[in-house]
Structure 1
């Protein structure tokens, strides 16, 4: 593709991608209030988070298939309509079972945003611009988990739990209207194309070494973060004596460093070149191996958690956009299917590493950093698969 044909604001695409992580992160500070008001334990309320992740993982491959079959605009508007409707119903849900069901519908609806945004960027931008656009998406999605809990923690005590779901409904409706007016109608595919999407699309994607290499790399990068996310607060409080406030500062700082990495990639085109991307991948390998070796040698310490965390987040901010773009560009004509499947695999791997991190911490707190280092090594292995004898997706 020689020139940009994108008519949709990149900020709008970043916003529709970010609504999904906003919807899960805003619930974090609500757990104590829900536990008191609904007389359920904190462990039972975790289903409100896990069902959301399951909804995303299940729906996104389906949405990717449908967008390749009938176009992106209709699917996006329909999905956001489901999100708004379920958010409104959550204001009136009075049982945990009902809330879990509606949270699943929320995730199913909002999951289309990530798929459509990635597909539109791949379809309408040349590689160098697409990579910078993916960097903007990554930065926006990285900033969301920082601001969403603050918003939820402010609204819920002041205006009640219903105000949080009302805010989600308003945000969803606002983005729905913006998408309705801003995203052009798709050119309808011919009947032969529609009939062959299910065969050619997914089979081409599933057979692509580049797709699985980039998707695996993306999943392992998510795994590094989610390994610590599952038990991070407990790790910092029990092992290092940090208060929840100080942990929040550490975790928020790491998220901002992630955003910084993506922001630098969006502004400095040289960082997207194969040379610098491979250098960043080697840096991730060094972080992973050194963390593992030092933990085995010296044992667990605050420095051996914070320094690898911050280093890996900066590198992830630079590398994640390339893995995202590489996955959707592996089989260009089926970018929607690739976007949905890669996002689903990434979410699934994140969930697995979240569970693995929690299990490792219960066995031995130091093991959580070994899982972290293992995920980093897994990223490098998949990066090699994606780039060995495969043309670089960027530039």
Structure 2
């Protein structure tokens, strides 16, 4: 059995979160290829990304309270088994519509990893420790998108795009087994109401009535939405617009995990001297500056390298924001940590899907709409953080 707060425990938590990211990042290099096979336009193919996020967002609304009621472990096992089954189903898709349906079901299963990893961190660590743990966790998770596009690109070239979903199914089954035989229950002991619906409604009513909680949720969600807008459109921007071969897409995409890890580790380092709220402000301000630079970099026609420099700065800002913001979001409601994490995850994914879909719909085939969208998302994150700071009361331990 894996001991809580050990290095193995941290690696397992990272794997829980990373599975959902793998389903996005391994799939990215295959988007143009699948679109060509199914004769689907780019905006139709990007719908397979947005639907995945919306499904994960909707799934988390139920997953969080279920884990508060029945425990983290059984919900994780069921979710990963569902993810594996849907991934296998996607290998047989014969049209974009069928693939979208399997992606939706796949997202329901993947949702358990992200939301319950956050709840488990809150179960096991105090607030300041949770921020540092999330920073280290983010660094480990950052390795996933660093290698996932290379794996996806290799599988695409050697075995075809369907092999990507077969590999994801195997990963889901492996995680279900590890959780079943290696992870103990972390949910705090206490009364568990028999009426699931009443518990769900009461939990979300409590969260929706907390202005500070909602402001931190919006800060994290807008910051992530700007990042996801680039992720969703990166394959078409890098491969189609700038002409980078799919096999080399991973080299460009590596800017994201590297930047995110730099930001997360900077937050962990400076967190020894600065409070999490100050780091949150710094990260949001950095995203704003980088976001405003993105449209200028494209309009000045500096090429791919000039465009990726502010993208890297933006990602560093998000790497600072997410661990600190998640710790702030989870601080005030430890007894309903599952619901608190679920509401955050739902807002984060739903807002990201909506903003990325809007950017795709407004696109003229260039990265300009994507750049403008990212430039607008960053100030919204900073505004939300400033609202959370009004009448700031000390965060609980």
Aligned to 1:243: 244
Aligned to 1:309: 311
Residues 1:178 and 2:140 are matched in the alignment: no
Which TM-score applies when normalising by structure 1?
Answer: 0.85
Aligned to 2:13: 13
CA–CA distance in 2 between the matches of 1:70 and 1:99? 32
CA–CA distance in 2 between the matches of 1:19 and 1:363? 30
Aligned to 2:91: 91
Say whether the 8 Å CA contact 1:70–1:189 is kept in structure 2: no
Q: CA deviation at 1:68?
A: 1.7
CA–CA distance in 2 between the matches of 1:289 and 1:314? 12
CA–CA distance in 1 between the matches of 2:364 and 2:41? 20
Say whether the 8 Å CA contact 2:284–2:379 is kept in structure 1: no
- 209-218 vs 309-318, greater mean Cα deviation: 309-318
CA–CA distance in 1 between the matches of 2:291 and 2:22? 33
Aligned to 1:390: 392
Residues 1:259 and 2:261 are matched in the alignment: yes
Residues 1:159 and 2:166 are matched in the alignment: no
CA–CA distance in 1 between the matches of 2:44 and 2:360? 16
Q: CA deviation at 1:119?
A: 0.3
Aligned to 1:349: 351
Residues 1:60 and 2:60 are matched in the alignment: yes
Q: CA deviation at 1:255?
A: 3.0
Q: CA deviation at 1:301?
A: 4.5
Say whether the 8 Å CA contact 1:284–1:380 is kept in structure 2: no
- 268-277 vs 149-158, greater mean Cα deviation: 268-277
CA–CA distance in 2 between the matches of 1:271 and 1:20? 33
Q: CA deviation at 1:306?
A: 3.4
| 1:105-116 superposed matches below 5 A | 105-116=105-116
Say whether the 8 Å CA contact 1:305–1:369 is kept in structure 2: no
Q: CA deviation at 1:353?
A: 2.2
- Pairwise CA RMSD of aligned residues? 3.3
Say whether the 8 Å CA contact 2:46–2:360 is kept in structure 1: no
Say whether the 8 Å CA contact 1:69–1:189 is kept in structure 2: no
Q: SS state of the match for residue 243, structure 1? A: coil
Change (3 A) 1:127 1:223: same
Aligned to 1:376: 378
Say whether the 8 Å CA contact 2:284–2:321 is kept in structure 1: no
Q: CA deviation at 1:393?
A: 4.2
Structure 1, residues 288-332: CA drift from partner, whole Å, max 9, x if none? Answer: 58638x949x85645773343222211221121111122222322
Aligned to 1:101: 101
Change (3 A) 1:367 1:127: same
Aligned to 1:331: 333
Change (3 A) 1:169 1:389: same
- 347-356 vs 55-64, greater mean Cα deviation: 347-356
CA–CA distance in 2 between the matches of 1:336 and 1:369? 34
Structure 1, residues 230-267: CA drift from partner, whole Å, max 9, x if none? Answer: 4445556788x563577754442243111221133345
- 301-310 vs 122-131, greater mean Cα deviation: 301-310
Q: CA deviation at 1:281?
A: 4.0
Q: CA deviation at 1:183?
A: 2.1
CA–CA distance in 2 between the matches of 1:145 and 1:268? 25
Partner of residue 318 from structure 1, selected from 317, 320, 343: 320
Q: SS state of the match for residue 83, structure 1? A: helix
| 1:204-223 superposed matches below 5 A | 204-223=206-225
Structure 1, residues 36-83: CA drift from partner, whole Å, max 9, x if none? Answer: 555555554444323212211111111112112222111111111111
Change (3 A) 1:189 1:80: farther
Structure 1, residues 179-212: CA drift from partner, whole Å, max 9, x if none? Answer: 1122224557444685752243111111111211
